[in-house]
Structure 1
Amino acid sequence: MTSNSSVTASILVIGDEILSGRTKDKNIGYIAEHLMTMGIEVREVRIVPDVEAEIVAGVDALRHRYDYVFTTGGIGPTHDDITADSIAKAFGVPIAEDPRAIELLLQRIKPEDLNEARRRMARIPDGAELVQNPVSKAPGFMIGNVIVMAGVPSIMQAMLDDVTPRLKTGTPLTIETVDALGLPEGAYATPLATVAQAFPGASIGSYPSFRDGTFHNQIVVRARDPQQAAAAKQQILAALAELPGARAIS
């Protein structure tokens, strides 16, 4: 289902290992890029520890502010995997073993090996839809506007693919890029602000990088109206061309 209005999302990353730096997150960028192609704009990202109160507070804050909340992490078999219980508490619903989830786990695990720890992965909040996991079979779930996925990147990506057809989508952003070659940001900050004021429906940002001993700056225009994005880009190119030392390219 496509919406003409903006569709917004947030990402809630759950895990002590992310906050400690032991594990480097690889999911945020993937989710944001995937959603952008569907016209769903990620507006906020939070990282919280494996603490029930923090997870509940994060979910409650984000689910009332955005169209979707995507969570990653904390749905495994160990004692610190408390995401499912925390989500159930946030929604005020009971949680129990789901026969559908047990059936999925048995596709990969022998009945005699389905111990108490592994059965934890079949605990699903009441009323939630399952999110399929073709990699290891242990499902995620979707309740309300909250999509709960694993933290392992390959599994998360498979879950995201499964849930994608259920999401409402918006108008995808048109992105135009200008390489501001030979110009420091300070040289074009004022004319760039002027262009941004002329196109309030576009998001215009400057992004510097440092490589080979020098700065390489890019100006990026994002807009839902392709004509507005193109017009803003042309004004930026014209403004840069008037600056000494400019080598901007389209």
Structure 2
Amino acid sequence: MTESSPTAAVLIIGDEVLSGRTQDTNLNTIARFLAALGIDLIEARTVGDRKAQIVEALNALRAGHDYVFTTGGIGPTHDDITADAVATAFGVALPEHPEALAILERRYGAEFNAPRRRMARIPAGGTLIANPVTDAPGFQIGNVFVMAGVPKIMTAMLEDVAPRLRTGAVVHARTVRVTGVGEGSVADILSAAAQANRDISYGSYPFGHGSVGEIGTNLVVRGRDAMKVDAAVEALLVELAAAGIEAMQT
């Protein structure tokens, strides 16, 4: 929204997401997490379990944003290659991290086998991200935060990530519900409002298409100055009323 606000990107890693076997919910969780901190989520990509593809995407994203959050691919199996790819992207070695090793040894005891030991490999220079659910840590290196793909674990890891981030001004959002007409009927009004208020974001989200019930659209007004957002909503309601369009703030 503004130049002073940190920006972020999400890289979702896993063949299971691309195949449709697993429905990703992590993006929504991270988006809400970042919004509460005033960090603008600008971009999201999904890639498979292919090292070259992960490296390429990660290097592009970390160069273009203040923060990058990856999910998936840090487990004990052969296709968990995120740590390898991150190490390659940063041009560093991938040794066993002593603290990670100790955490995993305590967790698994006599069942701490070679596959589980793979999870102790952390790119050189990386710091651990705590995992209060299963203990196996994620890690941070540079502006990249590498987390688990399992939603419950990823969400728990965000608690350790939050204090490390530079925050910005929170975005305030208001919704105006338009009923009885489709979004094409309000497009000109919305466009004029957007042109008149460059520091305010306007979005239109229609509902009821193809159904017998009520049709309309939700107009969402966003901005970092709450007073300006409220004023923009009031102005929008006036313009809609003047055009004979039924609308109300929800």
Q: TM-score, normalised by structure 2?
A: 0.95
CA shift at 1:107, angstroms?
2.9
2:248 aligned residue: 249
Q: Distance in 2 between matches of 1:44 and 1:91?
A: 21
Q: Distance in 1 between matches of 2:189 and 2:89?
A: 47
Is contact 2:47–2:53 with CA below 8 Å preserved after alignment?
Answer: yes
CA shift at 1:228, angstroms?
1.8
1:48 aligned residue: 47
2:225 aligned residue: 225
1:65 aligned residue: 64
Is contact 1:50–1:81 with CA below 8 Å preserved after alignment?
Answer: yes
Is contact 1:4–1:171 with CA below 8 Å preserved after alignment?
Answer: no
> What residue identity is the alignment partner of 1:243?
A
Q: Map 1:186-225 to 2 at 5 A.
A: 186-210=184-208, 213-225=213-225
Q: Distance in 2 between matches of 1:193 and 1:18?
A: 36
Is contact 1:8–1:40 with CA below 8 Å preserved after alignment?
Answer: yes
2:179 aligned residue: 181
Is contact 1:199–1:228 with CA below 8 Å preserved after alignment?
Answer: no
Q: How many residue pairs get matched?
A: 246
1:74 aligned residue: 73
Is contact 2:180–2:214 with CA below 8 Å preserved after alignment?
Answer: no
Is contact 2:127–2:141 with CA below 8 Å preserved after alignment?
Answer: yes
Q: Deviations over 1:42-99 (max 9, x none)?
A: 0000000100000000110000101100000000000000000100000001001111
Q: Distance in 2 between matches of 1:207 and 1:161?
A: 32
SS in 2 for 1:31: helix
Q: Distance in 2 between matches of 1:199 and 1:86?
A: 43
2:149 aligned residue: 151
SS in 2 for 1:126: coil
CA shift at 1:215, angstroms?
2.6
Q: Distance in 2 between matches of 1:63 and 1:127?
A: 16
Farther-moved stretch of structure 1 (142-151 vs 203-212): 203-212
Q: Distance in 1 between matches of 2:216 and 2:73?
A: 39
Structure 1: gaps of 5 or more residues:
none
> What residue identity is the alignment partner of 2:63?
H
Q: Deviations over 1:166-198 (max 9, x none)?
A: 111000001111111222101110011000001
Q: Distance in 2 between matches of 1:71 and 1:216?
A: 37
Q: Does 1:12 align with 2:2?
A: no
Is contact 1:107–1:137 with CA below 8 Å preserved after alignment?
Answer: no
Q: Distance in 2 between matches of 1:176 and 1:165?
A: 28
2:136 aligned residue: 138
Structure 2: gaps of 5 or more residues:
none
Q: Deviations over 1:210-249 (max 9, x none)?
A: 36633341000111111221121111111111223x2211
Farther-moved stretch of structure 1 (230-239 vs 117-126): 230-239
Change (3 A) 1:117 1:44: same
